[in-house]
Amino acid sequence: MAPGVEELQFPHLRIPVSIKSISPVLPACPVPAADGDTLYLSNLDDAIGVRVFTPTVYFYRSNSQKPVASVLRDALASVLVPYFPFSGRLREAKNGKLEVFFGPQQGALFIEAQTDMSLADLGDVTVPNPAWTALIYKFPDEEQYKVIDMPLVIAQATQFSCGGFSLGLRMCHCLSDGVGAMQFLSAWAATAKAGSLVVNPRPCWDREHFRPRNPPKVQFPHTEYKRILDGSTLTKSLWEVKPIQKCYRISGDYQARLKTLAQAGGDLPCTTFDAMAAHVWRSFVQALDVKPPDFELRLTFSVNARPKLQNQPLSDGFYGNVLCVACATSTVHGLVNGCLSDAAWLIRQARLDVSEEYLRSTIDYIEVDRPMNLEFGGKLTITQWTRFSIYDCTDFGWGRPIYAGPIDLTPTPQVCVFLPEGGAESEGAMLLCICLPESASRRFGELLSLKEIPLTAREVKASQGGKC
């Protein structure tokens, strides 16, 4: 590995967990929703890519005598008063569209668990490990991607023998995007820490803000949702064998180097995300040796569209989905034989193409032709968690978590995640997690580090200030 890129290792282990109790958590006070009431979800909340639960885990060292489970449970009950939609359930209404409905004895779900292992037995808990799945509760025989009639918040507090604990959390993406989830978590953590309800800003629902136009007005092709028959080897190579999860630490200096290389000799600036996403996309495709060369690939990533809303800005407390899926496309040949700045420009353009009009067109597209299945043809999706203050907003009274974030990407192997590093001395470093066949993992690491793979002649010229 080159300086600035470090492959991180995690142990293969089994965590024996004993469930002590499973109980619903109802709002601590009456809420403005009676049995039989419903709430509207926008098409952004109901897009196929958000009909999922987002599983995360948080590790804490604890020398406090405060009872972990009761503090977390009581704070959750308090927060479910202003965030009462999380105490409901989802169901399908007409045309397969989802809505929130309320019935008796719903609420969130809280699981209290324990293990005889210590946190030290897990090895390095700053590196996401698929072996931690026992710390996040799933129902027996639960269907993959099931969201209908499920608790919308599922929390498992697991006590370790050393006194530390983990919080394994599943939140339904249909109710909030990453920004909204951080708002909810911040309120829950602040409430647990203070011992009384702390909510700032006040949450608001306002999903009607994103109703489709009448008649719908689809103004863009929305390639991100199109079904593409995958005539390439990309998807086949990932799904025919069980992929393995790889994790790398990317230093801030290395990211800066890539950004310089990606925009050297170009007329337009790019962001660090543009450069990193371009580099990962090229390395991923080259490592998999994707064929045929003329096949058109897709790179998708979510863009927070809140800053794009000029006509009707949202209230500060809005916590619903305001994401647009941006999509860059390239042939295999163009991607691997072009230079980094070519790919970065494609990603930059896809990002900048997301506008308020694009958001409205997305809403109308889903209304007219609601996609019901996830599409993987020729696709890599990059999810950027580095923009979230997940470590700062999850201090429940036991300090910042040692680790906060997702753990297992293998169920959806065409996803790459950029994670913030949690240490106070991270200096802009990030963690990069991706799934690959074992046969391609070494090649990917070499390409990612730029150590053993020489730059193309065009990239050398670009790095020296010439046009690429």
Residues 170 and 233 grouped into a single domain: no
Containing 345, the helix (H) or strand (E) segment is: helix 340-352
Check pLDDT > 50 for residue 167.
yes
State how far the Cα of 62 lies from the Cα of 40, in Å rounded to an integer.
41
Q: Which domain holds residue 240?
A: 223-388+405-451
> How much is the average pLDDT of 285-312?
94
Residues 205 and 87 grouped into a single domain: yes
Residues 351 and 431 grouped into a single domain: yes
Residues 173 and 252 grouped into a single domain: no
Within-domain flag for 464: no
State how far the Cα of 123 lies from the Cα of 137, in Å rounded to an integer.
21
| Paired residues of 331 in beta bridges | 296
Residues 204 and 255 grouped into a single domain: no
Give 78 or 369, the one with higher predicted confidence: 78
Q: Which of 149, 184, 210 is the last residue of a domain?
A: 210
- pLDDT tens string 369-405: 888 877 788 999 999 999 999 999 999 999 999 999 9
Distances (CA, A) of 389 to 46, 320, 392, 444: 25, 18, 5, 29
pLDDT-wise least confident of 48-52, 148-152, 178-182, 192-196: 48-52
| CATH code, domain carrying 265 | 3.30.559.10
At position 451, the amino acid (one-letter code) is K
Residues 206 and 227 grouped into a single domain: no
> How much is the average pLDDT of 306-317?
91
- pLDDT tens string 330-372: 999 999 999 999 999 999 999 999 999 999 999 999 999 888 8
Q: What SS3 class is residue 366?
A: helix
| Paired residues of 334 in beta bridges | none
This prediction has a pTM of 0.94
Residues 192 and 51 grouped into a single domain: yes
User: Tokens 């007329």 — which residue?
Assistant: 267
Total domains present in the chain: 2
Mean pLDDT over each residue of the chain, to the nearest integer: 92
Residues 133 and 171 grouped into a single domain: yes
* DSSP secondary structure, 242-306, as one string: --EEEEEEE-HHHHHHHHHHHHTT-SS---HHHHHHHHHHHHHHHHHT---TTPEEEEEEEEE-G
Within-domain flag for 400: no
State how far the Cα of 301 lies from the Cα of 326, in Å rounded to an integer.
5
Please report the pLDDT score of residue 463 as a whole number. Answer: 53
State how far the Cα of 234 lies from the Cα of 279, in Å rounded to an integer.
17
Residues 33 and 91 grouped into a single domain: yes
Check pLDDT > 50 for residue 158.
yes
State how far the Cα of 285 lies from the Cα of 421, in Å rounded to an integer.
26
**Strands 379-384 and 323-331, sheet pairing:** unpaired
Q: What pLDDT band is residue 422 in, cutting at 50, 70 and 90?
A: confident
Within-domain flag for 33: yes
DSSP state of 318: B
Residues 154 and 66 grouped into a single domain: yes
- Both tokens of 186, joined, read 């911040």
Query: With left for phi above 0 and alpha for psi between -120 and 50, is residue 105 left, alpha or beta?
Result: left
Within-domain flag for 12: yes
Within-domain flag for 466: no
Residues 228 and 315 grouped into a single domain: yes
Please report the pLDDT score of residue 452 as a whole number. Answer: 45
State how far the Cα of 50 lies from the Cα of 66, in Å rounded to an integer.
36
Q: How many CB atoms lie within 10 A of CB 351?
A: 18
Q: Give the N- to C-terminal CA distance of the chain in Å, as an integer.
A: 26
Q: What pLDDT band is residue 149 in, cutting at 50, 70 and 90?
A: very high
- Both tokens of 210, joined, read 């994103």
**Strands 244-250 and 415-420, sheet pairing:** unpaired
